Structure 1
């Protein structure tokens, strides 16, 4: 368990993220392929959260209509060659009853190393713990910062750090370009852990921590001709907290990327996997985009 002093040091480092920019050589992302995922099923689509497990051979995704899917990933030379759905469950209440339609807009997914899993919801803003085996929701986590959330701009960026702390970043743009608050939940309480600089038109839609405790943030901008995406990484270090911009795309370079997962392959190389939300529209696609990280 992390000491109180250790937590204070991390909080201090996080608070400095707004003030620091890196002059050191930064990691780079290298494209490893883009896969279109499609199934002829009424439940398929709207994927907004993703977690990659088992060193890249398993994928857990949630849709914004309350569907939770576990799938196996077949790979050749590290790249995805096939996707096989293993389990489909519909999110439900703790007693097994179905959610009301207005309660099903699940957006963020975060799975801790100990197997605990959390899902965030929009419109009726809340965070719930979920049983991945049956989709039942328990342990509602109240959101003490609802006043800074928009009706359709809640918490999409949800992540669990290596020490088990749950973090959330609201999608809502802050007034006058103010930083996004990075909120941390532990011991039954939320606290402001950091202020993430708001740079340009991008808004947070996905987040994850890597094994080194670095925060990865996926952001999206909507333009008249298509979506843009950006990935930033934040190093939490009391001696030298740093911010890196690793990817900034042009419109139409990728689809509506909303979910992000950071993981290690069997060789220990860091990989980043993104998934797009097709909004159940034929003009959009479900894309799974992967990058390797070189440092």
Structure 2
């Protein structure tokens, strides 16, 4: 089945999948915490993270207020490696994808302002291909980013530089892939471990409504800056994101007003660990543009971060914009799975 990137297939894609999936989105609160009903349950425990800057009580970091966080410890390593994230039910539920080809769903116990208190009812299930086989069985499981729009779920696979299309909602966890997004050769040719790591579906009132925004994790050896892609009915357009200080792009999510948030990660022996959040205004996000964006947050080993890879945005009942960040622990005892929450102060 053809998805964005093919003009002829895009209209059929919207007509066939968009109506039912859009209705699912409208009744999202009724179904979000019933996902993966036939998935495997996992015992988890959490450790609270009260302060973001280690040893200091400050909560305000520029335009962001730290609400709190959790370190997640799961009884099954398949729940590690969280790489892509969606917030559901005003933050009371999450759907994540792992870098070894699994869906993960859970219930977030939170305060009225969005501070996470615990994670419960965690279940997981393997991503399935169109033939019902797991992505692990076909070496297409290096899944890194996740987004949802009116036509379903989209997941990037970095090793193959592919974007997979899945139905929504994932009621049982046995739902099969609908198809792949048609991509141009320059995306397919991205380095296998530096390919499509960020993915976001443009909101309805955005100039890019009906399109997916993807960003390559790093730059090819002959380039310095990062390449972004607009995948839509008219084909593929490109933009460039200015790269700074060896940071790589790991995820992206749209704000309600159409601005794009990009999360960046640095994880090497020279610089140790780092994380950045950049905000690209809706006006700045244009095809063929060289984009700088606004730096919202930069963090290092003095803060509660790890290998930060997943970013999600939701609005609380009071209208606050809440950012949720998760880390990929690579299923290593030397790393942590972190779940962090910030409120964006406009």
Aligned residues: 268
Higher normalized strand content (fraction of residues): 1
Q: CA deviation at 1:27?
A: 6.9
Matched, 1:245 2:295: yes
Matched, 1:278 2:329: yes
Matches within 5 A, 1:57-206: 57-77=92-112, 78-85=114-121, 87-99=123-135, 100=137, 102-112=139-149, 114=150, 116-131=152-167, 132-133=170-171, 134=173, 135-144=175-184, 145-146=186-187, 149-162=190-203, 163-175=209-221, 178-187=224-233, 189-192=235-238, 194-206=239-251
Unaligned runs of 5+ in 2: 1-60, 204-208
SS in 1 for 2:79: coil
Tell which deviates more after alignment, 66-75 or 176-185: 176-185
Aligned-pair Cα RMSD in Å: 2.4
Matches within 5 A, 1:211-230: 211-224=256-269, 226-230=272-276
The two structures have a TM-score, normalised by structure 2, of 0.72
Q: What CA distance in whole angstroms lies between the structure 1 residues aligned with 2:285 and 2:129?
A: 45
- The verdict on how the C-alpha distance between 1:84 and 1:164 changes in structure 2, with shifts beyond 3 A counting, is farther
Q: CA deviation at 1:252?
A: 5.5
Q: What CA distance in whole angstroms lies between the structure 2 residues aligned with 1:103 and 1:209?
A: 26
Q: CA deviation at 1:237?
A: 1.9
State whether residues 223 and 251 of structure 1, in contact with CA within 8 Å, keep that contact through their aligned partners in structure 2.
no
SS in 2 for 1:158: strand
SS in 2 for 1:43: helix
Q: CA deviation at 1:88?
A: 2.3
Q: What CA distance in whole angstroms lies between the structure 1 residues aligned with 2:103 and 2:134?
A: 13
Unaligned runs of 5+ in 1: 1-25
Q: CA deviation at 1:176?
A: 5.9
State whether residues 149 and 172 of structure 1, in contact with CA within 8 Å, keep that contact through their aligned partners in structure 2.
no
